[in-house]
Amino acid sequence: MEDGKPVIYGLEFQARALAAQVAESETIRFLVGTQSLKLENNQIHIVELHEDSGTLSTQVYQHAAGEVWSLAASPGDSSKIITCFNTLSENGCQVKAALWNLPNLDSISTLNPKDETDKLPQLEKVCSLEAKEQVQDVRTVAFHPTDGQRAVSVLDSQCVLWDLGQNDARVTTTVSLEGKGHPRFTTGKWNPHHNYSQFATAHDSHVRSWDLRSPQTPAWSIESAHCQLVRDVDFNPNKQYYLATCGDDGCSKFWDSRDPSEPIAVRSDHSHWVWQIRFNHFHDQLILTSSSDSRVILTSMASISSEPYSNSGADEVAEAESEQRRKLEDGVLATYEEHEDSVYCVEWSCADPWTFASLSYDGRLVINQVPREDKYKILL
């Protein structure tokens, strides 16, 4: 890992669900959910990177409930996760969501448990996030950024805020999307600012933000953020009002929610749809995007980040030169081409600001790091 080479972990199944373990701040851990239409074959992998040796240790759980479409890790309890999974019945398939407990989390081993498939530990289901007579598919579920007791599930045309206290799921608030032609949500994201009261959703080419305390009307919206479908939204964790979107036009756009008429910046580095966009939690000038052109691109947007260009220190003259040298330019820092299929997910590690994982459809998980020179440019 030290020499900057990527660590690759292969899954046996196709996969499009990836999450960093939010509650874990000591070790670099990622969660991966698989997709197999043989439902009982589905698994949740916990992959842990040992930074010193560059080796991986994994723990695999059986997720027999269905193929995993989306995955979220609880910010409060590292053993709690929510998955959105596809179930099959005679009437067709439906995507549901449930809160799970990962048993024996401590026993993560470097052993590869492939040969003992039958003995995979089962996930313990805590509760399912399912309202009565729910027929809509669950798009994604997002945990409250700090409170493991609350989560929002994004359905086709509803967002439901759940209270997960006492191992039980209760609906507290519902946001409904209404409009011509039955618009459908594609994704949703909890806004980490404003005391966690806002939740942003994307449908078609629009982005809307809802105040969960008064969910009747959107707090603000970006109409036609992209000229095609918006695939993902992410908030700058360190700078209020700033957010990023990506979509099927192959662009990443950066917005100030106070002025949603024009993006602050637009980048178009991918050659196909951009599926996910992520701000680095610590150094928000670092931005990761994953795309179905099989690439992951690390971009720097230093000019609109929360970290100012120059720290106005006492000896500015002396620093001016070195400042010039280490200033990080806007632009692509690195393109990672280890994947050979569409990359649907990319996530920063919650423990190490320089490490991230990306997952392509063919089940390849690649753990990479920010190039060292860029790292130094930011640190020094």
Partner 1 sequence: MAEMTGNPYDINGQHFNPDMYLQKLLKECTLQQIMDQESEVVQDTQALHSDMQTLVYENYNKFISATDTVRKMKSDFKKMEDEMDLLAKNMESITSFSEQISCTLQDTRQQISELSGVHSMLKRLQFLFKLPTQLKTRIQEEEFSQAVQDYIHAQRVFQQYGNMTSFQGIQSDCEAIVEELKKKLRDQFRSKEASAKELTESVDLLLQLKEPADSLCADFLSHANSRLAEQLTLLEQSENQDIIEFVDLGSSGVLGNLCLIVASYNDMFINRPYHLDTESDLDSVAVSQLGNFVLHNMERYFNIVSCRVEKEQDIGDTVVLVRALDRFHRRLQAMKTLFSDTDFARTGTDIVLKAGYRQCRSHLQALKTHFSDTLTCVRQSLAAPKLVSQDGDNSSSLFELLSSLVISTVEKVKGVLQDLLVFAQPDLTFVLKPHFQEVFCVESVREHLVVGFLHHLTAVARGFCGSGDVKAPPALLLLLSKMCLEFESSNVHYLLSITDEWFNIEESSAASGLTHASELRSNMLAAAQELLNHYVRMQGLSVSQMLRKSVETRDWLHTIEPRTVRAVMKRVVEDIAAVDSQVGALYEEGQRAERSSDSSRRTQSITVSRHAYRSNWSSYGPSHLDSSLVTNIQKLFSERIEIFSSVEFSKVSILTGIIKISLKTFLECVRLRTFSCYGLQQIQVDTHYLQLYLWRFVADENLVHFLLDEILGSAVHRCVDPVLMEPSVVEIICERG
In the complex, the smallest distance separating the C-beta of residue 243 from partner 1, rounded to whole angstroms, is: 19
Instruction: Please report whether residue 342 would count as binding partner 1 according to CB under 8 A.
Output: yes
In the bound state with partner 1, the residue whose beta carbon lies nearer, of 65 and 378, is 65
Segment contacting partner 1 by CB under 8 A, of 24-32, 72-80, 297-305, 339-347: 339-347
Residue located via tokens 């423990």: 351
**Per-residue contact track with partner 1, 200 to 239, x per CB under 8 A?**
---------------------------xx-----------
Q: Who's near 128: CB < 8 A, 6+ residues apart?
A: 96, 97, 98, 99, 169
Give the pair of three-digit tokens for residue 4: 């900057």
Is residue 184 within 8 A of residue 156, CB to CB? The reply is: yes
Segment contacting partner 1 by CB under 8 A, of 88-96, 101-109, 149-157, 365-373: 88-96
Residue located via tokens 């009982």: 40
In the complex, the smallest distance separating the C-beta of residue 256 from partner 1, rounded to whole angstroms, is: 19
In the complex, the smallest distance separating the C-beta of residue 191 from partner 1, rounded to whole angstroms, is: 26
CA–CA separation, 48 vs 58, rounded Å? 6
For residue 229, with 0-12 CB atoms within 10 Å meaning exposed, 13-18 middle and 19 or more buried, which class applies? middle
CA–CA separation, 75 vs 72, rounded Å? 9
According to CB under 8 A, which residues from 96 to 135 bind partner 1? none
In the complex, the smallest distance separating the C-beta of residue 344 from partner 1, rounded to whole angstroms, is: 9
Distances (CA, A) of 2 to 62, 110, 336: 32, 19, 17
Is residue 270 within 8 A of residue 295, CB to CB? The reply is: yes
Overall size of the chain counted in residues: 380
Select from 293, 307, 323, 330 the one that contacts partner 1 (CB under 8 A).
Answer: 293
In the bound state with partner 1, the residue whose beta carbon lies nearer, of 16 and 29, is 16
In the complex, the smallest distance separating the C-beta of residue 41 from partner 1, rounded to whole angstroms, is: 8
In the bound state with partner 1, the residue whose beta carbon lies nearer, of 21 and 205, is 205
Instruction: Please report whether residue 294 would count as binding partner 1 according to CB under 8 A.
Output: yes
CA–CA separation, 30 vs 8, rounded Å? 13
Segment contacting partner 1 by CB under 8 A, of 124-132, 142-150, 312-320, 357-365: 357-365
Give the pair of three-digit tokens for residue 213: 């305390």
Bridge partner residues of 89 (DSSP): 92
Helices in the chain by DSSP H: which ranges?
316-326, 372-379
In the bound state with partner 1, the residue whose beta carbon lies nearer, of 79 and 291, is 291
In the bound state with partner 1, the residue whose beta carbon lies nearer, of 21 and 291, is 291
If phi > 0 it is left, if psi is from -120 to 50 it is alpha, else beta; for residue 234 that is: beta
In the complex, the smallest distance separating the C-beta of residue 199 from partner 1, rounded to whole angstroms, is: 23
CA–CA separation, 2 vs 5, rounded Å? 7
Instruction: Please report whether residue 270 would count as binding partner 1 according to CB under 8 A.
Output: yes
In the bound state with partner 1, the residue whose beta carbon lies nearer, of 40 and 341, is 341
Instruction: Please report whether residue 273 would count as binding partner 1 according to CB under 8 A.
Output: yes
Q: How many residues bind partner 1 (CB under 8 A)?
A: 28
Q: Which residue ranges make up the site for partner 1 (CB under 8 A)?
A: 12-14, 36-37, 41, 86, 88, 92-93, 227-228, 249-250, 270-273, 292-294, 337, 340-342, 361-363
